[in-house]
Amino acid sequence: MDTRERMKIYEELTSLSGIAGYEKAVRNYLKERLAKCSDEIIQDRLGSVFGIKYGPADGPIVMIAGHMDEVGAIVVNITPKGFIKMQPIGGINPEVFLSQNMQIDIGNGKFIQGVIGATPPHSSRGLDEDNRKLSFDDLLLDIGADSKEHAQQLGVKIGQQITPVNNYFITADGKKIVAKAWDNRFGCGMALEIMEAVKDLELPFTLVAGATVQEEVGLRGATTASQMIEPDLFIALDVSPAGDFLDDKHPASFGALGQGFLVRFYDPRCIMHNGLRQYFYELATKNNIKHQNFLSMGGTDAAAAQYAKHGTLSTTIGLPGRYIHSTAAMIHIDDVEAVKQMLMAILQDFNQDVFERIKNNV
């Protein structure tokens, strides 16, 4: 199987538009696929969706979750000249949007494309460099409209979502893929892969796998979904910023493409449970699965899920990605395989006794 065929599900997922609060297209895709490999599909009131594979009624519950939403923006105003003003949704540096092709979702599967304008050097000569720090308020999306009325006639309305135009491609070595929204359509696709892989297996626990909503704006979907499901073990699947293009002395130089999945042993909102960390290291080593330590100053859905029930064993299995939270990020297919191998190793090893041993090793 070549790379494009192997990663087809991810090409389809990254091509969908879905910022926080606007995840409908991604949710519909997931529900259609989950229906073919789940005993039941559940959805909370915010829109997080999961497939369930039932195990023994008295067994533990394992929850595996990506998140549907990507970073992007919404339309907040149309200028008299027809330019679109935007509000960012999620953490975005405005510089990464300059000169980028974007699209406005005008409904019914239709999009209007445009470009975020960048001031050419000819027009900025003589300006004080110190006063040119870019803010999101400086950005204008140009869809080619001649006036506000023209933009409205084309279908633009306040509140519509704006996402990058996807430029999905495989690098020349056949091992890396560039696309928008790897954070976190990767987690969505991997949750589907896992449910499809265990469809015909008997598991000594109940498996709940799918994706949350609104992670990029405060882990909101994970908060409600974990309260609904009350898992004993929660694994967030997410893409974390690879620092291998930075200087080795840089504090964010953790994470390298091609070196395996990320063991997120620390972030400010979720310190990995001691027993769970030891279990991951032992299982990955035993099965010769490439992995690397990862420290992050950001957070994932694991931070919200740890508060469910009386405290949930909660962690993140990460995929390193260069240039995330931009219009194009890069991942390595070998790391995707390492994540899948680790998840399958956990699901084939985990049971009530293992859970008790991990839980008691605080």
Which of 115, 112, 133 has its CA nearest to residue 124?
133
Q: Distance between CA 290 and CA 82 in Å, rounded?
A: 51
pLDDT digits (tens, 9 = 90+) for 318-346: 999 999 999 999 999 999 999 999 999 99
Where residue 218 falls (left for φ over 0; alpha for ψ -120 to 50; beta otherwise) is: left
Q: Distance between CA 68 and CA 301 in Å, rounded?
A: 12
Q: Distance between CA 150 and CA 153 in Å, rounded?
A: 5
Query: 3-70+180-360 has which CATH code?
Result: 3.40.630.10
- Of the pLDDT bands very low, low, confident and very high (cuts 50, 70, 90), residue 4 is confident
Q: What is the DSSP string of 178-232?
A: EES-HHHHHHHHHHHHHHHHTTT---SSEEEEEEES--TTTSHHHHHHHHHH--S
Helices (H), the chain: 3-6, 8-15, 24-34, 121-124, 148-153, 182-197, 220-229, 274-286, 302-305, 333-349, 352-360
**What average pLDDT does range 194-211 have in this prediction?**
98
Predicted confidence at residue 144, as pLDDT, reads: 98
Share of the chain above pLDDT 90, in %: 88
Predicted confidence at residue 71, as pLDDT, reads: 98
Q: Distance between CA 321 and CA 106 in Å, rounded?
A: 30
Predicted confidence at residue 197, as pLDDT, reads: 98
Q: Distance between CA 324 and CA 5 in Å, rounded?
A: 23
3-state SS assignment for residue 77: strand
Backbone angles phi, psi at 166, to 5 degrees: -75, 130
Do the strands 176-179 and 169-170 form a parallel or antiparallel pair, or are they unpaired? antiparallel
Q: What is the DSSP string of 83-123?
A: PEEEEEESS--GGGGTT-EEEEEEETTEEEEEEE----HHH
Residues with catalytic annotation? 215
What helix, strand, coil percent values describe the chain, rounded to 5?
30, 30, 40
pLDDT digits (tens, 9 = 90+) for 94-144: 999 999 999 999 999 999 999 998 876 555 555 555 556 899 999 999 999
Predicted confidence at residue 224, as pLDDT, reads: 98
Angle between helices 182-197 and 333-349 (to 10 degrees): 40
Q: Distance between CA 22 and CA 160 in Å, rounded?
A: 9
Predicted confidence at residue 228, as pLDDT, reads: 97
Which of 343, 353, 360, 332 has its CA nearest to residue 244?
332
- Of the pLDDT bands very low, low, confident and very high (cuts 50, 70, 90), residue 362 is confident
Q: Distance between CA 35 and CA 53 in Å, rounded?
A: 11
- Of the pLDDT bands very low, low, confident and very high (cuts 50, 70, 90), residue 2 is confident
State which fold the 72-164 domain adopts.
Elongation Factor Tu (Ef-tu); domain 3 (2.40.30)
Residue 226 pLDDT greater than 90, yes or no: yes
Predicted confidence at residue 288, as pLDDT, reads: 98
Considering the chain, what is the average pLDDT of its residues?
94
User: Does the CA dihedral 157-162-166-167 come out positive or negative?
Assistant: positive
pLDDT digits (tens, 9 = 90+) for 140-196: 999 999 999 999 999 999 999 999 999 999 999 999 999 999 999 999 999 999 999
pLDDT digits (tens, 9 = 90+) for 41-92: 999 999 999 999 999 999 999 999 999 999 999 999 999 999 999 999 999 9
Give the CA count within 13 Å in the CB-facing half-sphere of 296.
30
Predicted confidence at residue 123, as pLDDT, reads: 53
Q: Distance between CA 224 and CA 85 in Å, rounded?
A: 32
pTM over cut 0.85: yes
Q: Distance between CA 305 and CA 73 in Å, rounded?
A: 26
Backbone angles phi, psi at 126, to 5 degrees: 90, -5
Which of 341, 237, 337 has its CA nearest to residue 1?
337
Residues written for the chain: 362
Cα dist. 102→45, 133, 263, 285, 294 in Å?
Answer: 30, 22, 34, 43, 32
Instruction: List residues bridging with 7 in a β-sheet.
Output: none
Where in the chain is CATH 2.40.30.40? Answer: 72-164
Where in the chain is CATH 3.40.630.10? Answer: 3-70+180-360
Predicted confidence at residue 82, as pLDDT, reads: 98
CB 163 within 8 A of CB 180: yes
